[in-house]
Chain A
Amino acid sequence: MATFSADVYQNEFLPDGGTDVHAIVTVTCSGAGEAGQSGSGDAAEVVIVDTSGSMSGENIAAAQRAARAALDQVLDGVWFAVVAGSHEARLAYPQGLEPEMVRMDQRTRAEAKAAVTGFRADGGTAMGTWLMLATRLFAGVPSATQRHAILLTDGINQHESPEQLGAAIEAARGRFQCDCRGVGSAWQVAEVRMIATALLGSVDLIAKPDQMAADFGRIMQQSMGRGVADASLRVWAPQGAKVLFARQVSPTVEDLTTRRQEVNALTGAYPTGAWGDESRDYHVAVRLPAKAVGQEQLASRVQVAVGDVVVAQGLVKAMWSNDDTLTTRIDPAVAHYTGQAELAEAIQDGLAAKAAGDTDTATVKLGRAVQLAAQTGNDEATTRLRKIVEIDDAGTGTVRLRRSIDKLDEMALDTASTKTTRVKK
């Protein structure tokens, strides 16, 4: 039986007239069990592999190995299907007149792996059609409460309009989660990130084809370890207050604010997808009407709900004080994650400016990123930034753009921009 806990880190003291309360809430799940085993519903997996013409040669062989590695990790009894994607979506397994999924067992696993081995690189790229087929497949298994896909691509979405892709993403939103991977340097991080963000999944770069199989196996293994099919973060704020933002800050930065679904007038729910044994940190900011010095009130109830059942709750408080030593202290966790979120934004803005040819803005933004990475102790980000900029002074954020930059290094910096380090507690 999965159990959740919620721990709050904040400075509850506000100065006279202060209105904004910030808190980091660490949500921890333990005893999650395995996907589809909790009794609350089945699990279903769709493996989507790009088989467009650009995949020919080393990539398609690596993609076959990766798909087989993923299939090896799917637990017996889990519903599954394999989609081969080009300018159209083809159901590679199971093969039938109508798109449908089958349960994993010894026979279907062997058949699916054989079907994958028959992949040939041919045609264009229209990822929206791949998502549409996956949405149809999942809809055919109403017993599956945990629905997850892996999507692999190597190119730009050339053979359909951005509107068509956008519509396919919206049709898939809330129907399944999707972890996305791009192989090589010919794909667009922003385009694939759009899919992953909407479908509560991750996006990452696979620089070399031979890394693909290990990565796919790991993603599927992680998905199989998520025994809680679906949980949501609920944020209650008192009457007259406003939730300024709600964002996941660890393991990656994801702004949840616009994903709010109303539970009641004072409570919003933000979908967080499936959970395994793990911790995630959330940053919640609430603006309250100021009260008199000495008064205390609850600024927010931050809850975890599985279905309609609240399984954990953390209390964010506000206490007005005229003691400066209390009110001026910034909670270390809040400071850390505020810096990490700004770091992600600075990297993405800097790379976007560089891509647009705006060298000045790119230098300023990436300089700020170097400064924040140093301040928050994010050494991995510093290492990735160093491949893009020469660092003259990390303390002041003084940098120069490098003359020759490997495209893969730039993409690695982009995809990893949202990954945060945990605050040292």
Chain B
Amino acid sequence: MTGPGVGGSGQPVSAVVEGEAGGPLSCGSCASPVARGERFCEACGADLGQPAPAAGPPVPPEVATTSRTCRECGGDVGADGYCTRCGASAPSLRDHFTEQPAGWVGAVCDRGIRHARNEDAVALGAGSEPGSHAVLVVCDGVSSSTDSDVASLAAARAARDVLAVSSPQGVGTATTRVAASARALVAAADAANAAVIAHTTSGPGNPASCTFVAAVVDGPLLVVGWVGDSRAYWVPDAGDAQLLTVDDSFAAEEIAHGVPRAVAESGPQAHAITRWLGIDAPDHTPRTVSLDLDGPGWVMVCSDGLWNYCSEPHDLAALVATTGRASGPEPLRLAGALVDWANAQGGQDNITVAVARVGLTRQVATAHSTQPTDTSASQPKPPREEAGPDGNVLS
């Protein structure tokens, strides 16, 4: 039996339904009212197939037009998704989109090459002052389940919205701020889980589900929470990079039992995750860690579409360094270049990369110094686990 919902089994990408002339618009997927110019439905996350809004978060003009410029001839892409000059088919806004609420953060979410649709999602929030406060959320929809693309975007945005208002933002001691961020991450995972369930259609098939990883930058403090196998890395300019998350996956369990990472992550069950968000999730409480950011570097949150090709932290750091030299230090360009790199490796999965450039505020005076003199940077501090695998932060 198929439910009556429009998004039941078809493509979730749907057009805006025009009202009477000048009347209200509604989402073609869930019929909720939407504002003119909205890119995605606020209610269900369906791609509305409209141009990026003119108003909204401060986005550099060249970024705002990126997804609306024809990749083949440079002409403008029409509202119908085809170039107005050469007719080439442009990727839909759900298949490739970017986020950049402030200039020091950036994210690119891309369908990749092999998958028919993009079930990854990303949502960012950031204060305008570099290094002040940022939230990076990535959710990777499980491809064997129904409507995971709609659910993952709704989840990422719900989590971002919770973290944007409930994070401490520089109030209290470091310890209380970390604890507050960890509590906010639990609330964010709750909201994300509720969003996934809200977009789960009844009927046969696997219910919608997705992973969850969120990084909260609070000045020099970083707190990360996750469910599943989407990851957070800390890539300092100097010193060793660190993988901050431990995948909730079959491969991670094997690694914990001594199987080399390269072997475990290429096994037949490598991508089977043991925890996720969704109506059938046994436990969606995020595990959390925190880290003091004591120098300039990149906070990165990504889906397995990237780390499949570059799992080890030192490999990722080398990739960021190489890619960054070509793309420059602009966060959105770096994220885009890393996505392009993953596509060049085969693009076997959806690819999402979100980065935040941190630790620069105090470096401005010595911006020309290429070698930091602080030798302690070469000795990374281990991240503090904020909760055990049972996820009980408050214990």
User: Which residues of A does B touch, CB under 8 Å?
Assistant: 1, 237-241, 266, 288, 296-299, 301, 313, 315
- Given known A-B contacts A313-B80, A315-B80, A298 and B87 have beta carbons under 8 A apart: yes
* Closest chain A CB from B13 CB (angstroms): 15
The distance in angstroms between the C-alpha atoms of A288 and B82, with both chains bound, is 15
The distance in angstroms between the C-alpha atoms of A288 and B89, with both chains bound, is 14
Q: Could you list 30 examples of A-B contacts with CB < 8 Å?
A: A1-B20, A1-B21, A237-B87, A238-B83, A238-B85, A238-B87, A239-B73, A239-B85, A239-B86, A240-B86, A241-B87, A266-B85, A288-B87, A296-B89, A297-B86, A297-B87, A297-B88, A297-B89, A298-B80, A298-B82, A298-B83, A298-B88, A298-B89, A299-B87, A301-B78, A301-B80, A301-B82, A313-B80, A315-B80, A315-B82
B125-152 contact mask (Cβ, 8 Å, vs A): 1 or 0: 0000000000000000000000000000
Beta-carbon contact of A297 and B21 below 8 Å: no
Quick one: closest A residue to B18, CB to CB? A3
Residues on the B chain within 8 Å of A239, using CB? 73, 85-86
- Pick the 10 closest A-B CB pairs, nearest first: A238-B87, A298-B87, A298-B82, A297-B87, A296-B89, A238-B86, A239-B85, A297-B88, A239-B86, A315-B80
Residues on the A chain within 8 Å of B83, using CB? 238, 298
Quick one: closest B residue to A291, CB to CB? B88
Chain A CB within 10 A, most for which of B20, B21, B84: B84
The distance in angstroms between the C-alpha atoms of A315 and B20, with both chains bound, is 22
User: Which residues of B does A touch, CB under 8 Å?
Assistant: 20-21, 73, 78, 80, 82-89
Residues on the B chain within 8 Å of A288, using CB? 87
Residues on the B chain within 8 Å of A296, using CB? 89
Residues on the B chain within 8 Å of A237, using CB? 87
The distance in angstroms between the C-alpha atoms of A373 and B188, with both chains bound, is 69
Residues on the B chain within 8 Å of A297, using CB? 82, 86-89
* Closest chain A CB from B117 CB (angstroms): 16
The distance in angstroms between the C-alpha atoms of A214 and B3, with both chains bound, is 53
Tell me the total A-B contact number using a CB cutoff of 8 A: 34
Residues on the A chain within 8 Å of B78, using CB? 301
The distance in angstroms between the C-alpha atoms of A299 and B73, with both chains bound, is 15
Residues on the B chain within 8 Å of A299, using CB? 87
The distance in angstroms between the C-alpha atoms of A313 and B83, with both chains bound, is 15
Residues on the A chain within 8 Å of B88, using CB? 297-298
Other A-B pairs beyond A238-B83, A238-B85, A239-B85, 20, CB < 8 Å: A1-B21, A237-B87, A238-B86, A238-B87, A239-B73, A239-B86, A240-B86, A288-B87, A296-B89, A297-B82, A297-B87, A297-B88, A297-B89, A298-B80, A298-B87, A298-B88, A298-B89, A299-B87, A301-B80, A315-B80
Quick one: closest A residue to B73, CB to CB? A239
Residues on the A chain within 8 Å of B80, using CB? 298, 301, 313, 315
The distance in angstroms between the C-alpha atoms of A1 and B19, with both chains bound, is 13
The distance in angstroms between the C-alpha atoms of A407 and B84, with both chains bound, is 53
The distance in angstroms between the C-alpha atoms of A301 and B81, with both chains bound, is 12
Quick one: closest A residue to B89, CB to CB? A296
Residues on the B chain within 8 Å of A1, using CB? 20-21
Residues on the A chain within 8 Å of B73, using CB? 239
The distance in angstroms between the C-alpha atoms of A297 and B84, with both chains bound, is 11
Quick one: closest B residue to A316, CB to CB? B87
* Closest chain B CB from A236 CB (angstroms): 8
Quick one: closest A residue to B20, CB to CB? A1
* Closest chain B CB from A83 CB (angstroms): 39
* Closest chain B CB from A320 CB (angstroms): 12
Quick one: closest A residue to B21, CB to CB? A1
Quick one: closest B residue to A286, CB to CB? B87
Quick one: closest B residue to A264, CB to CB? B84
Quick one: closest B residue to A301, CB to CB? B80
* Closest chain B CB from A235 CB (angstroms): 13
The distance in angstroms between the C-alpha atoms of A241 and B20, with both chains bound, is 35
Residues on the B chain within 8 Å of A301, using CB? 78, 80, 82
The distance in angstroms between the C-alpha atoms of A190 and B73, with both chains bound, is 48
* Closest chain B CB from A77 CB (angstroms): 25
The distance in angstroms between the C-alpha atoms of A288 and B87, with both chains bound, is 10
Residues on the A chain within 8 Å of B82, using CB? 297-298, 301, 315
The distance in angstroms between the C-alpha atoms of A238 and B87, with both chains bound, is 5
Residues on the B chain within 8 Å of A298, using CB? 80, 82-83, 87-89
Residues on the B chain within 8 Å of A313, using CB? 80
The distance in angstroms between the C-alpha atoms of A288 and B85, with both chains bound, is 13
Quick one: closest A residue to B85, CB to CB? A239
The distance in angstroms between the C-alpha atoms of A299 and B87, with both chains bound, is 7
